[in-house]
Structure 1
Amino acid sequence: MKSLQEFLQHFLSNKGQHVFLSLLVAKVCAFLGSLFIIRILPESEFGTVSIVASVFAVFAPFSGFGSQQSLLRFGSLTDETADKKWLSSYLLLKGFGRQVLLTAVFFLVSLFYVNRYEDILYIFLFFSVRLIGFYFFNHLQSELRIFGKNAEFARLNNTVNISGVILLLTLSYFWGLLGYLAALAATPFLAFFWFKWHHLKNITETFSFNKKEIWNYGLHASGTALLSDTLFSADVLLLSFLMNENAVADYKVAILIPANITFLALTFMQSDFPVLAKNYQNKAFLKNYIFNYYKIFLPVTALIFGIGFIFKSEVIQLFFTSKYEESTLPFIILLAAFCGNMLLRNLYGNLLSAVGKMKANTLISLFTLVMLPIFALFLVGHYGFTGMAVSLSLSMLLNGFMLMISFYIYLKNLK
């Protein structure tokens, strides 16, 4: 128990709770913004925006070609303030050049849609501006994290997200689609209130890190993020192909709550990421971290699953009405799967990222993405959308065990 107390005290002393709560605020703001815009925009306009937003979601993980992920990890490895500043300035400049290229490619994608959807070109233009702002926002977040300024990170995150959702609600109410797009494009640039002049000075390459290693890590981190996001959209796309829109609706109801419980583990791990990266060769620290993580999340996941299992019918009826009663069994299957996800995939995937083993993370994510349609082809035909719930659950379980094995191989090789 003493070890767990020290673990939590260390988390609080690093102001990890600020990071945790700010990421929760970001999730709530995103949900409120989506809910409002669904109600205020005509169906056709919302559909067109959704298409562009889906393309944006593919490009967003590659922001700066992974420069922010590299800054977070490599900046956490050094205690020298000058090294951190040099690395930050270098990655800001080099990453911005790559970001401009990425944004140009993103905008060119609009040419594939321009003849099919009205006004989609200017929607892509607003999202292109957002993509640039997104780059600066992410960079400043990573920089604050490597300097241990978790409370300041929380202020940045809360200011951008809360102000952003207020701006979105206000402009959308008065100017509809145009107001929504203007708010969306402007929101990440609120981060410039945290921009300091040192970002544009002392741009040097005198830091002690290997540049090739930095960019390789960043690209693999971006690729892993993309593959991870794709896994949770491929299931819906497969189901729409193998069944129909009613099955998709039932499945979306079943997965909505289970998929969102993982924010508990993800925000907790993100809060500790700089500390984990700094101790990437400390075998005792890493083993102790895993031990204490399970002390917290084994009871948490057991409680979540227990409540969900006992009140499964009530939960479905309360949130989604009785017409979705058929989603009860898939709901329980997915709830169990995402609880397991917190104990395996979320833990060991983030640990592998922190210790620099992003290539293993990427390859395992790619393998899992290949396995999902294979499972689905066999199971959906026999069990309908319940089969898709089982397919995704098996894929995540396989992913989690492979990540765990990869991490323990790394841990075994540490002296």
Structure 2
Amino acid sequence: MKSLSIFVSDFLKNKGHHVFLSLLIAKICGFLGSLFIIRILPESEFGTISIVASIFFIFVSFSGFGSHQSLLRYGSIIQSDSEKKVFANHLLRQGFIHQLIISAVFLLISIFYINRYEDILFIFLLFTVRLIGFYFLNHIQAELRVFGNNRAFAQVNNFVNVFGVILLLLLSYFFGLVGYLFAVAFTPFLSLIWYKKEDFLKVIGGINFTKKEIWSFGLHAAGTALLSDALFSADVLLLSFLMKETAVASYKVGLLIPFNITFLASTFMQSDYTVLAKNSRNKFFLKNYIANYYRLFIPISIVIFVVGFVFKTEVLSFFFSAKYSGSQMIFVIFLATFSFNMLLRNLYGNLLSAVGMMKMNTAVSFLNLILLLMFSFFFVKRFGIEGMAISLCLSMLTGGFLLLFSFYLYWKDLK
């Protein structure tokens, strides 16, 4: 218990709680926004938005070809503030060019849906604007964390998310779907209040890392995030082709709360990311970190699952309407899945990233996606939307154990 106390104390000393609380607020705002939209929009419109949003989350993971991921990883290692600034500005300019290419490809995806869903081109267009806004938001957040300014990071995150959800609620209430779309497109650009014109100017100085090393890590980080989000989007996309919009909506409702419980583990790990990167070769530190992480999150995972299972009917009735009562089985499956996810995928995926082993993360994420497609081919035909939930569960658990084994091999070779 003493080591756990020190673990939490160090977390607070590093001002990780600023990052943690701001990411928690972001999750709450995102959940409230989704909850409000589920209640205010017809099932068909919500189903259509879910399809576009699923594709969006795949592309946002590839933001700038992983430029902000490279900034966070290598910027944490750089000691000099002036060198960090040169590095950050270089990645901002190069990443923006890449982002324009990504955004154009995202918009082109809409041609596959134009004849199937009403107004989907307009929805894709505004989500494209949101995609560019997220590039600036991601870069600004990463740069602030690299410079150790966790308080400013929290301010950016809180302002964008709190003001954004208020804007979403107001515009959606008065203008429906159109108001919602303009709100989500505009929100990430609020981060530009922290933008400085000189950030786009070239700062004189060299970069300590080779371009190949930087962009290799960035592309693998982006690829991992892309595949990871594809895992959480492919299920919805497959259902969109196999079943009606109402089935997609019911599945999404059963997934929404369990998916968001992992914010506890993911935000905790993100808060400690720069510390983990600096100690990536410290065998004792990594072992001690994992032990204390489990002391904290095993009890949390058990409590979440037990409470959610016992009160599943009340939870779904309270947050959603009676028309989604059929989502109870999906809710329970995902509750168990994401409880285990906090103990495996969240922990070891972030550790592998922090120590620079993004290639392994990418390989496991790709395998997860293949497994999802294979499992869904068998289970969806037999069990419908519950079969898709089972498929995602099996894919994620397999990936989690593979990440654990991969990190163990890295840790074992440390001296």
After TM superposition, the score normalised by the length of structure 1 is 0.89
| Distance (Å, rounded) in 2 between the aligned partners of 1:2 and 1:343 | 21
Give the whole-Å Cα distance in 2 for the aligned partners of 1:179 and 1:137. 22
C-alpha distance in 1 between matches for 2:406 and 2:153 = 31
Residue aligned with 1:5, SS: helix
Contact 2:312 2:328 in 1 (8 A): yes
Q: Is the 8 A contact 1:376 1:387 kept in 2?
A: yes
Structure 1 residues 276 and 196: CA distance shift in structure 2, 3 A: same
The answer to whether residue 146 in structure 2 is matched with residue 135 in structure 1 is no
Give the unaligned 5+ runs of structure 1.
none
User: Which residue number corresponds to residue 350 of structure 1?
Assistant: 350
Tell me, yes or no, if structure 1 residue 61 matches structure 2 residue 65.
no
Aligned partner letter, 1:270: Q
Cα distance, 1:354 vs structure 2: 0.9
Which moved further from structure 2: 71-80 or 96-105?
Answer: 96-105
In the TM superposition, what whole-angstrom CA distance separates every residue of 1:339-394 from its partner, at most 9, and x where no partner exists? 11111111001111111111111111111111123233444455555444433222
Please report how far the alpha carbon of residue 143 of structure 1 lies from its aligned counterpart in structure 2 after TM superposition. Answer: 0.4
- Tell me if structure 2 keeps the 8 A contact 1:25–1:161: yes
Q: 1:31 to 1:152 in 2, by over 3 A?
A: same
| C-alpha displacement of 1:312 | 4.3
Q: Distance in 1 between matches of 2:357 and 2:222?
A: 13
- The 8 Å contact of residues 20 and 271 in structure 1, kept in 2 or not, is answered as yes
Cα distance in 1 for partners of 2:302, 2:360 equals 29
Kindly state the Cα deviation for residue 88 of structure 1 after the two structures are TM-superposed: 0.3
Q: Which residue of 1 aligns with 2:340?
A: 340
Superposition map of 1:264-279 within 5 A: 264-279=264-279
Comparing 226-235 with 375-384, which one deviates more in the overlay? Answer: 375-384
The 5 Å alignment of 1:45-56 reads 49-56=49-56
Distance of 2:335 and 2:140 partners within structure 1: 35
Distance in 2 between residues matched to 1:323 and 1:124, nearest whole Å: 28
SS of residue in 1 equivalent to 2:208 = coil
Partner of 1:182: 182
Q: 2:98 is aligned with what amino acid? A: R
Once residues 379 and 43 of structure 1 are traced to their aligned partners in structure 2, the CA distance between those partners, rounded to angstroms, is: 25
In structure 2, distance between residues paired with 1:341 and 1:56: 23
Paired AA for residue 138 in structure 1: N
Does the 8 Å contact 1:90/1:204 carry over to 2? Answer: no
Deviation at 1:20, TM superposition (A): 1.3
Tell me: CA distance 1:229–1:81, structure 2 relative to 1, closer, same or farther (3 Å): same
Describe the superposition over 1:161-201 as per-residue Cα deviations: whole angstroms up to 9, x where unpaired.
Answer: 11122223334444455444433332222112212344234
Which stretch of the first structure deviates more once superposed, 139-148 or 303-312? 303-312
Aligned match of 1:96: 96
Q: Which residue of 2 aligns with 1:87?
A: 87
8 A Cα contact 2:67 2:218, kept in partner: yes
Worse-superposed segment, 355-364 or 254-263: 254-263
Question: What CA distance in whole angstroms lies between the structure 1 residues aligned with 2:410 and 2:55?
Answer: 35
How far did residue 206 of structure 1 move?
0.6
Cα gap change, 1:12/1:181 in structure 2, threshold over 3 Å: closer, same or farther? same
**Equivalent residue number for residue 263 of structure 1:** 263
* Contact 1:16–1:272 under 8 Å retained in 2: yes
Q: Which residue of 2 aligns with 1:410?
A: 410
Q: Secondary structure at the match of 2:272?
A: helix
1:122 Cα deviation (Å)? Answer: 4.6
> Which residue matches 2:199?
199
Q: Determine the structure 2 residue equivalent to 1:75.
A: 75
Distance across 1 between alignment mates of 2:318 and 2:117:
37
Which amino acid counterpart does residue 334 of structure 1 have in structure 2? F
SS of the residue 1:206 aligns to: coil
Residue identity matched to 1:305: F
2:3 matches 1:14: no
CA contact (8 A) 1:280 1:286 kept: yes
1:5 Cα deviation after fit: 1.3
Q: Secondary structure at the match of 1:300?
A: helix
For residues 225-271 of structure 1, give each alpha carbon's deviation from its aligned partner in whole angstroms, at most 9, with x where no partner exists.
12112222333444566677776666545433322211110111111
Corresponding letter in the other structure for 1:81: D
C-alpha distance 39-244 of structure 1, shift in aligned 2 (>3 A): closer
TM-score between the two structures when normalised by the length of structure 2: 0.89
The AA in structure 2 aligned to 1:96 is F
Query: What is the deviation of 1:132?
Result: 2.0
Q: Which runs of 5 or more structure 2 residues have no equivalent in the other structure?
A: none
1:391 — aligned with what? 391
Q: Which amino acid aligns with 2:199?
A: H
Query: Is the contact made by 2:48 and 2:245 (CA closer than 8 Å) also made in structure 1?
Result: no
1:91 Cα deviation after fit: 0.3
RMSD: 2.9
- Quick one: percent identity of the two aligned structures? 63
What amino acid does structure 1 have at the position aligned with 2:212?
K
- Matching residue's letter, 1:79: Q
User: Which residue does the alignment assign to 2:375?
Assistant: 375
Q: Is the 8 A contact 1:76 1:278 kept in 2?
A: yes
**What amino acid does structure 2 have at the position aligned with 1:12?**
L
Corresponding residue SS for 2:66:
helix
**Matching residue's letter, 2:77:** L
Question: In 2, are the aligned partners of 1:78 and 1:278 still within 8 Å (CA)?
Answer: no
User: What's the offset of the Cα at 1:97?
Assistant: 1.5
Q: 1:121 to 1:256 in 2, by over 3 A?
A: closer
Return 216-225 or 288-297, whichever deviates more.
216-225
On the 8 A contact 2:379/2:387 being kept in 1, the answer is yes
2:332 and 2:28 map into 1 onto residues whose CA distance is 24
**Cα deviations by residue, 1:51-96 (Å, 9 ceiling, x for unpaired):** 5434332321111111011101110112211121111010011111
Task: After superposition, give the CA deviation of every residue in 1:96-115 in whole Å (9 maximum; x if it has no partner).
Answer: 11122222333344455556
